[in-house]
Amino acid sequence: LETHKKKPSLEPAYLTEKMLLRRSTSASSLASLGLVLAASSGRSRSVASALSTVSSAVNNARRLGGSDLVVSEACLGTMTWAVQNTRDEAFGQLDFAREKGCNFIDTAELYPVPLTDPNYRAGATEEIIGEYVEKIGPAQRDELVIASKIAGFFPASPVAAARAYPDAPHDPPPDCRLDALSVRDAAHASLRRLRTDRIDLMQI
């Protein structure tokens, strides 16, 4: 786990208090923290491979913290997709952002917002991104840095229910927690919805 740290080769992106799960961190050290490296299917791009995205018209490319992730200066937020924005509008935003050199997409297992909307369904935003990823294909997906988030403690949570029981009622819903089992289940659920073999950045 790392916080913001400056690298000499590329200006790092600004980070908030969110902690970053580095792809380069060894599985053994993660295990010692009680975490499960479920957000990767054994596929880890090298620094040289990550840097190659700079040549793909990434706008104001910089390294993200102490990781090997190379991201655009701007990050496309997605929290309104599936409630305040339709799938087609989301696809249009993604296309426009990529045309402008944005390769950094941020989402969360909890999205969309607001949770009080009658059409709210946990994970629906990730599903839209997954449909887009499938549409553009593996080569173009590799040009993107997709970040997601695991929900913290949330009693009787529809977010936790959507991890293991996405299509079935669960009464009462389980709690969201940040134990090893919850992190693993959240990562697997996000991988499934995003239709990808890895989550480039998982925020806790």
154 exposure class (CB count in 10 Å sphere: 0-12, 13-18, 19+):
middle
Which of 57, 10, 11, 13 lies closest to 201, judged by CA? 13
Among the options 111, 120, 132, 165, which is catalytic? 111
Order across the sheet with 145-149: list the strands. Answer: 75-77, 104-106, 145-149, 201-203
The 3-state DSSP class for residue 76 equals strand
**Is 111 among the catalytic positions?**
yes
Which of 26, 83, 9, 53 lies closest to 146, judged by CA? 53
Query: Which phi-psi region, left, alpha or beta, contains residue 134 (left: φ > 0; alpha: ψ -120 to 50)?
Result: alpha
The separation between the first and the last C-alpha atoms of the chain, rounded to the nearest angstrom, is 10
Sheet strands (E) in 10-156: 62-63, 70-71, 75-77, 104-106, 145-149
Q: Which residues are catalytic?
A: 111
